[in-house]
Amino acid sequence: MNVNTSLRLLAAAGAVLLAGACGTGGQDAGAPAAAGGGQKPVSTTARDWKGVADALGREGKVMGGTVYRVALPRGDLKVTSYGVQVKAGLALGSYAAFARYPGGQNLAMGDLVVTEKELPKVTDALQKAGIDQTALHKHLLAQTPQIWWTHFHATGTNQEKIARGLKAVLDATGTPPSAKPTSPGPVGLDTRAIDKALGTKGTSEGGIYKFTFAHNQTITAHGRVLPPAMGVTTAINFQPTGGGKAAINGDFAMTAGEVQKVIKALRAGGIDIVELHNHALDDDPRLFYLHFWANDNAVKLARGLGHAVDNQDVKPAG
């Protein structure tokens, strides 16, 4: 185990202790700016976002005491890539994340999984609602049917208005209502060896084994600090495909200096590069996102992914 992996294990333990010591409360209108510049989001509870949940017709959960994140998995889609039927948790997980800042300003960001037929209607609905479309790309190399991923960004003092606009966007797609969470259950992989390779313990959700890593430096956009739950993280997913193998997908959120090192590490691990792009218009530092794919022995792939993560200044997201 190298130094970066050891540091990630220590950071994970610290994150658990910190999470246990911190709670959520009401709004903190005096939230200070971060050391690197930018307003920090204020603390909120699920009650603060009831209007958003009602407008969307879907409930989310507060993450890190500040971000209200609504999962919008495309469980309605039957997508195949290189012979693998892709589960929603591997690569088809739309989401919307909301945060509140001093002065009553709200920020919404997210990613929508849409079919090629839905895409023009989604773009028009975003424009009509005054929601910025900030990226459009694919997460899979080969896919049937053709699927696109589009990112959005909106600000304003009326979070319900933003949510109503987003609901109109969702209505232009076949995105189903939120489903009740199911028991994680076993994933049929050597998770202990995978955890060791990635330097932290993963989580099981909907048959997918997942990891999330957050940047050690502060990420801002439009003068506001973006907590990890807004979607500015490295996310790694494993979907078992039998015989100890797994399909892997997700994305690395990288600063410019990390990009080539991560690409080199992934290719050395036999992992394909799908896309390299930005998700936001004015984040600081500028983040580049790299989507990847492979279907092979899960532990072997985990080692390659672990080496790529070692080339980032990140820690496990608590």
In a domain, 161, yes or no: yes
Nearest to 108 by CA among 148, 167, 24: 167
Which region among 11-25, 172-186, 193-207 has the lowest average model confidence (pLDDT)?
11-25
Is 12 inside any structural domain? Answer: no
Domain assignment present for 155: yes
Better-scored residue on pLDDT, 185 or 300: 300
pLDDT band at 27 (very low <50, low <70, confident <90, very high): very low
The per-residue pLDDT for range 76-120, each reduced to its tens digit, is 999 999 999 999 999 999 999 999 999 999 999 999 999 999 999
Q: Is residue 17 part of a domain?
A: no
- What is the reported pLDDT for 96? 98
The rounded Cα 201 to chain-centroid distance in angstroms is: 17
Q: Which pTM was predicted? A: 0.88
pLDDT at 178: 79
Quote the CA–CA distance of 42 and 66 in Å, as a whole number.
Answer: 6
- Using CB atoms within 10 Å of the CB of residue 199, give its burial: 0 to 12 exposed, 13 to 18 middle, 19+ buried: buried
Q: Is the pLDDT of residue 196 over 80?
A: yes
Within a domain: 13: no
The answer to the question of residue 68 being in a domain is yes
Domain assignment present for 9: no
Dist CA 209 CA 203 (whole Å)? 6
Q: With bands split at pLDDT 50, 70 and 90, how would you rate the model's confidence at 183?
A: low
Contact 225, 41 (CB under 8 A): yes
The predicted-structure confidence for 139-180, as pLDDT tens digits, reads as follows 999 999 999 999 999 999 999 999 999 999 999 999 998 777
Look at residue 51 and tell me if it is in a domain. Answer: yes
- Token reading at 181: 């969470």
Q: Where in the sequence is the domain holding 35, given as residue range(s)?
A: 26-316
Beta bridge partners of 213: 234, 316
DSSP letter at 273? Answer: E
Number of domains making up the chain: 1
Residue holding tokens 């990140």?
Answer: 314
Provide the sign of the torsion angle of the four alpha carbons 251, 252, 256, 259, taken in this order: negative
Look at residue 48 and tell me whether its pLDDT is greater than 80: yes
